[in-house]
Amino acid sequence: MGGLTTLLPVVSKAYCSYSKTVLLIRKRPRNVNGGGFVVMDANQSVAFAVDGCCVLGVSGECVVRDGNGNSILVIRKKGGVVQALSFNNQWRGYLMDFEMPSKLVFSLHEQKSWVFVNGSIRIFLEPKGHNKRWDFEVQGSFAERTCTIRDRRGNVVAEVEEQERMTSKDFYHVVVQPGYDQAFVIAVIAILDYINGESTRC
């Protein structure tokens, strides 16, 4: 070991760290600022915030903001007849440029529970090009706060952990391993939150 950590940006190198990062997520009640959640770093400063569809007024949409309140990603659930007939629910993450979606950077595919008993959640970096294989996979139960994001080689990217001594699931930790993009991880957490009918959902 002892080598330099390679940065693996999805959104930007600015959101990657050379050391392990522990983030605290605090859900906002739907009746206060419309829902979503706030992400705090080890210094108790706001690192990210996620606005759910209650704030935005658009079902199936979330926005990830940086600590200064700037929009960095918009996440949209794909709809339409083709999606309704598909075996997967699909979510897409777009970079924001001047408050407008500009570039697709990832898509998340959730196998529909009525088709697959143990449906998997897999994430594809965009554009795929010739590589049609998934890049990341979510394992475990987000609802129980015991889930892990792994890359295709099985390396742990991030883990969701219940905060000790807290009986409420409104507070929990996300531990992001060195080199990985924290903004991307928070975007995945926002989708898992929505899928499970939590704070980002209308």
Predicted confidence (pLDDT) per residue in 89-121, tens digit: 899 999 988 777 789 999 999 876 544 445 589
Is the pLDDT at 133 greater than 90? The verdict is: no
Would 7 be classed as within a structural domain?
Answer: no
Inside any domain, residue 9: no
* Residue 201's pLDDT band (cuts 50, 70, 90): confident
Task: Please tell me the predicted confidence (pLDDT) of residue 88.
Answer: 76
Interatomic CA distance for residues 126 and 95, integer angstroms: 11
Tens-digit pLDDT profile for residues 33-62: 567 999 999 999 999 999 988 777 788 899
The proportion of the chain whose per-residue pLDDT surpasses 90, expressed as a percent, equals: 60
Handedness of CA 49, 99, 54, 142 (dihedral sign): negative
| 27 close to 201: Cβ distance less than 8 angstroms | no
Q: Per the domain annotation, does 117 fall within a domain?
A: yes
Percent of the chain scored above 70 by pLDDT?
Answer: 83
Does 142 reside within a domain? Answer: yes
The domain containing residue 165 runs over which residues?
17-195
Residues 6+ apart with CB under 8 A from 125: 10, 105, 106, 135
Residue 126 lies in a domain: yes
Cα separation, 131 vs 62, in Å, equals: 27
Can you give the pLDDT at residue 58? Answer: 80
CATH of the domain at 93: 2.40.160.200
Residue 181 belongs to some domain of the structure: yes
Calpha distance 83→143 (Å, rounded): 25
pLDDT in the model for residue 86: 59
Instruction: Find residue 27's DSSP bridge partners.
Output: 37
Q: What is the pLDDT of residue 132?
A: 74
Identify the pLDDT of residue 176. Answer: 98
Q: Is residue 1 part of a domain?
A: no
Q: Is residue 75 part of a domain?
A: yes
Concatenate the DSSP letters of all residues of the chain into one string: --PPPPPB-SS-GGGB-SS-EEEEEEEPPTTSTTS-EEEE-TTS-EEEEEE-HHHHS-TTEEEEEETTS-EEEEEEE--SHHHHHSSEEEEEEEEEETTEEEEEEEEEEEE-TTT-TT--EEEEES--TT--S-SEEEEEETTTTEEEEEETTS-EEEEEEEPTT---TTEEEEEEPTTBBHHHHHHHHHHHHHHTT-TT--
How many domains does the chain contain in total?
A: 1
81 pLDDT more than 50: no
Q: Which of 10-14, 16-20, 56-60, 145-149 has the lowest mean pLDDT?
A: 56-60
